[in-house]
Structure 1
Amino acid sequence: MAVLPPGATILPDPDAVARAAADHIVAAARTSDRFALCLSGGSTPKRLYALLAGEYRDRVPWERLHLFFGDERVGDTPEAGSNARMVAEAFGSDSPIPPGHLFPIPIDGTPEACAAAYEATLRSFHGSGTLTPERPLFDLVLLGLGEDGHTASLFPGKPAVEEDAAWVVGVPEAGLAPFVPRVSLTLPALAATRRMLFLVTGTGKVEPLARLAAGENLPAGRARAWGETVWLLDEAAAG
């Protein structure tokens, strides 16, 4: 078994990881009158969203949820808007998300322009230009771990990882395929949450987990909540 991050829980498979994440969301959302959830892309989050829209539908206080995105592919390529499309597909045509409670990242324009527009959306929702532990931006942030150690669209060695002032940045070129422009929340914005859940599944995640355990300075290792950071791994990822 690999050396695992602090706060890691090992579950049998991706479905169990998605179910555990759904339990976290339902329990946390019931404690807040306005619950800001930052969504992640990927196959395991898609299972999670389908669970929330299906089996968990009547347990979720949908009127309290406000849904944002941690990153998105932008521009005029076929890949643009893929995270928003995945979420829409997972929640289905009878989505329980109330109108006006889903905030997709703009995809028309340069990465910088789309980032500026989304940062304005976040600041308006937050009601302040300052992030503090007493008043975080999010209640829960979902993240994944890339095989190169990236999270959201913060790739190793790219300038976006070092951004410490902006909440959202343009990423002109991704660190791995598809090499399309992206927009990503920054590490400070992602950290401004009561709880962060990493959903990590599959054998392809064994190597990046080992690199994190060895102390390598990877973006996923630098993403930490002001509150609680929890890693939900399946047995394949845990090695």
Structure 2
Amino acid sequence: MSTVPTGHQVLPDPDAVARAAAERLVAVAHATPGRVGICLSGGSTPKLLYRLLAGPDFRESLPWERLHWFFGDERVGGGPEAGSNRRLAQDGFGDLVPDGHLHPIPSDGAAPVCAETYAAELRAWYGADRLDPGRPLFDLVLLGLGEDGHTASLFPGKPEAREAQAWVVAVPQAGLAPFVPRVSLTLPALGATPLILFLVTGQGKRAPLARLAAGEDLPAGHVRARGETAWLLDRAAAG
């Protein structure tokens, strides 16, 4: 039995995964007229991607003035972990993002308040309160895969992973460390895009990939783009 999802590409290492994602992102940016909405993920491989996009190979290829950057999830509250995904993007992109084009999830309050604030921002960006099947919320969504099969902050067995109406939810109890409150986009919001790229690297991801391939009910297996859902894996993850 295959241990990787359909629609996958196996690449040599995390650097190659980041480069492949960068190339897809540049292609989306140039194929999309007007403003471009990109939903970001946290983790080590996205960190490589952000630095690559801001580096000499890709910096001049991107229409930064048209790009708007959103987030799939964030750690919130009063702890040092709060705002980690925002900081990851800020550190990676530096001063390339125009003012008002980075849209971080609020992280300095209670999770339900942060979730509703971000939901309101997404509705303002979209210009409607309901998702239209003919119009995407984002032009590209980047996601990762947790060792328990979670994606964004949608954890196995948690009610947030089954939310079918709201765009953003509070996650009061994470399924993995650090066990801090989080805010996450939901399956409907993450799937409201023509393209999802899963960036999956490292031996620790072999087990959840095998569980997905076996048909186990895991949140990452329920995320579907309206167009293409592609998995970019390195050899360590693919096994």
Q: Please, what TM-score do these two structures have when normalized by structure 1?
A: 0.97
Matches of 1:155 and 1:81 in 2, distance apart? 19
Residue type at the aligned position of 1:145: L
Report if aligned partners of 2:3, 2:206 keep a CA contact under 8 Å in 1: no
How much has 1:3 moved relative to structure 2?
2.8
Q: For structure 2, list consecutive stretches of 5 or more residues without a partner in the other structure.
A: none
How much has 1:133 moved relative to structure 2?
2.7
Residue type at the aligned position of 1:150: H
How much has 1:10 moved relative to structure 2?
0.4
4+ runs of 1 displaced by more than 6 Å? none
* Partner residue, 2:140: 140
Matches of 1:53 and 1:9 in 2, distance apart? 24
Q: Does 1:29 align with 2:37?
A: no
* Partner residue, 1:153: 153
Percent same amino acid at aligned positions?
A: 68
How much has 1:130 moved relative to structure 2?
1.6
Matches of 2:6 and 2:140 in 1, distance apart? 18
Report if aligned partners of 1:161, 1:187 keep a CA contact under 8 Å in 2: yes
* Partner residue, 1:89: 91
Report if aligned partners of 1:26, 1:59 keep a CA contact under 8 Å in 2: yes
How much has 1:31 moved relative to structure 2?
1.3
Q: Aligned-residue CA RMSD in angstroms?
A: 0.9
Q: How many residues align?
A: 237
How much has 1:109 moved relative to structure 2?
1.6
Cα deviation code 1:59-93 (max 9, x no counterpart): 0011111100000000001110011111111123x
* Partner residue, 1:42: 43
Residue type at the aligned position of 1:100: G
Matches of 1:67 and 1:91 in 2, distance apart? 11
* Partner residue, 1:238: 238
Q: Please, what TM-score do these two structures have when normalized by structure 2?
A: 0.97
How much has 1:174 moved relative to structure 2?
0.4
* Partner residue, 1:67: 69
Matches of 1:2 and 1:147 in 2, distance apart? 18
* Partner residue, 2:194: 194
Report if aligned partners of 1:2, 1:209 keep a CA contact under 8 Å in 2: no
